[in-house]
Structure 1
């Protein structure tokens, strides 16, 4: 693009002039000194938001180490449909400094903020996640259709890897993402750009990361289901066994031990009586021996 200049010392006009609008109402303009400008050259920026407005000088200059004006910060900037006019003059004790001017569409130099109020709500049964957000705030439009959005999702444990999901959506403020793995945590980022209207077509800043999903082996809903089902199944099993008698079959009664005297060999009454007499006589002999010892 040809740079219009006025009369003055060749190579003394500023170079690389650029402006950016950010945080809705702030504008920052910067430039570099002319390659052949004298060392004492000082620059001054004037601008006009529209043809109907008066020309205003910068109120907050950005200076270099030599206190030369090398930029300007503007506050309370409003963006209209027309072009704004910028003029940078210079002065020096030794030479006449060339001026620089340019007309700029302010909406084209706006750096869009990321979408706000981003939320992700996942359905644990269907495994789909509803992503919702609000459009970036700008001073000259409140229509959702003026924007397009880029959605970027990665696994939390592999942020340096490629995105597992990328989507560019025209307008709207919601998107449905189907999770491929319910046992993972995810990181989502979003950014916006103008799709229509007088909104910058350049992609804006990425949003802060939004984390969603979980790393549980078994989800909380499954634990709740198990907690309810286990006692219920136990009650049903007990009731069933009482009705069918399966409890006795599963846990049969163990018979107690038989007395030593009542073995199968002792069923003869005469033999049992003989054994009793033999034991009695042996006891009497033991008692007799004990008395003799006294």
Structure 2
């Protein structure tokens, strides 16, 4: 069939009648619409090919289709009908998709698709469509991706995606993702780049799509990304000003008895590594060159060669400027206060040679608030609170004008300080001392009251005169006798002997006479 009929047909019938005078032409028009309730036919029909030979078709139930509507799909090519056997359903249980595995049809020839439906409530209209499956094929990613590293260049090679037919290499366009940097519009079977830092792990993935300009397909969709391919190669860092540390990893496939030779070369000068590092299997995985006699501003090359009697171990050559691989040490900090202002000064990081201070950029961490891209050798801030305790650290990195290495150094040791911390400590000491003194005085007062300590150390002075007068009044003595006894009161020592117990008057007078008291 060369056309679809689900929207109806418009027929025009042309006829003529021959008379004796002339020919008379007649034309009549007819519009034929499919049976069924309007808007009950399937909608948004589409098909795609994936995994080379799997066909997946989908549609939506008609807007006016009852909930019990069911649909069926048949693909027809020439005299071959391919009914669907694997349906998908929606939340109402209606069939809205179909999966066909390797159908017996030609993907490059027009296919007629018919979706019919039925319901117990009403008649359902049908949907038909014409298309070429090849125009809807979703490609797979490229196959057999291989990475080859030579010097500072990375070469990527691959094979074209597998398709249902033998489409040529010219039918595909590729996109490559290298460490998050995507490059598109690539044709052919290889790609080379030299924009790779020595110490950066290379993570590569690819995808493909049809080239529309060559008429191979009308599908504009990209394939999914391939699995990432990680290239294992060696790296180098420079620490402690002039020590070079190399490391490499060729995977567990390398035999344990493999031995490597690392040679650092510049023009006619060659330096062979003598200090190798090994992993838990005893394989060499690193090397340290201490203070090699090379210029850090000029390019040097490294050759890493593997030796094994059983298998071939690939060799690697890389070239770089040592100055681009230097890991800086954090600066040394000095801090001073001026009222509520904090002033920081520091020394430039130590390097292999005398480097101008404009070659460094700094980051400052004050109580977890990070300030970056600071230049110079000092920094002043006034956004501080009195008595606030501070934790300060710094880090440094190269300015891009002096090195391509943009990695930060580690943070320096934290410097813990606080504005007016001496006065604050003195105030705290005085407050604590006052509280302790008040508590001690309260405790001593409690002891004196509880055990009558004050009366033991400071006894009261006796007052015998008042006792005597009370005694005289009780015994009815005359005023004359009381006056006489008042004169005798002056001898306090004599009277005090009888303060606790006063004897009868006659006995008292005799006793006083016997003791010579007048």
Q: Distance in 2 between matches of 1:57 and 1:39?
A: 23
Considering Cα pairs closer than 8 Å and 6+ residues apart, tell me whether 1 or 2 has the greater RCO. Answer: 1
SS at match of 1:225: strand
CA deviation after TM superposition for structure 1 residue 107, in Å? 1.4
Q: Which residue of 2 aligns with 1:216?
A: 236
Q: Distance in 1 between matches of 2:120 and 2:58?
A: 23
One of 28, 43, 46 as aligned partner of 2:56: 28
Alignment of 1:1-294 (within 5 A): 4-5=6-7, 6-48=34-76, 50=77, 52-77=78-103, 79-124=106-151, 127-154=152-179, 159=180, 163=181, 166-170=183-187, 172-195=188-211, 196-199=214-217, 200-212=219-231, 213-217=233-237, 219=246, 224-225=262-263, 229-230=271-272
For residues 213-261 of structure 1, give each alpha carbon's deviation from its aligned partner in whole angstroms, at most 9, with x where no partner exists. 55433556996115984599xxxxxxxxxxxxxxxxxxxxxxxxxxxxx
CA deviation after TM superposition for structure 1 residue 141, in Å? 2.1
CA deviation after TM superposition for structure 1 residue 65, in Å? 4.0
Q: Distance in 1 between matches of 2:234 and 2:79?
A: 56
Q: Distance in 1 between matches of 2:162 and 2:273?
A: 54
Larger % of strand: which?
A: 2
Would you say the 8 A contact 2:153–2:196 is kept in 1?
A: no
SS at match of 1:192: strand
For residues 28-68 of structure 1, give each alpha carbon's deviation from its aligned partner in whole angstroms, at most 9, with x where no partner exists. 111111111122211111112x3x24222111111234432
CA deviation after TM superposition for structure 1 residue 114, in Å? 0.4
Would you say the 8 A contact 2:261–2:272 is kept in 1?
A: no
TM-score by length of 1: 0.66
Would you say the 8 A contact 2:235–2:247 is kept in 1?
A: no
Q: Distance in 1 between matches of 2:191 and 2:106?
A: 30
Larger radius of gyration, structure 1 or 2? 2
Q: Distance in 2 between matches of 1:187 and 1:53?
A: 50
TM-score by length of 2: 0.39
Question: Which segments of 5 or more consecutive residues in structure 2 lack a partner in the other structure?
Answer: 8-33, 238-244, 249-259, 275-518
Q: Distance in 2 between matches of 1:22 and 1:208?
A: 17
Q: Distance in 1 between matches of 2:160 and 2:44?
A: 32
Distance 1:211 1:79, change over 3 A: farther
Q: Which residue of 2 aligns with 1:260?
A: none
Measured on the aligned residues, the alpha-carbon RMSD in Å equals 2.8
Larger % of helix: which?
A: 1
**Which aligned segments of 4 or more residues in structure 1 are displaced greater than 4 angstroms?**
218-223
SS at match of 1:122: strand
Would you say the 8 A contact 1:108–1:201 is kept in 2?
A: no
Q: Distance in 2 between matches of 1:181 and 1:231?
A: 22
Q: Distance in 1 between matches of 2:98 and 2:149?
A: 47
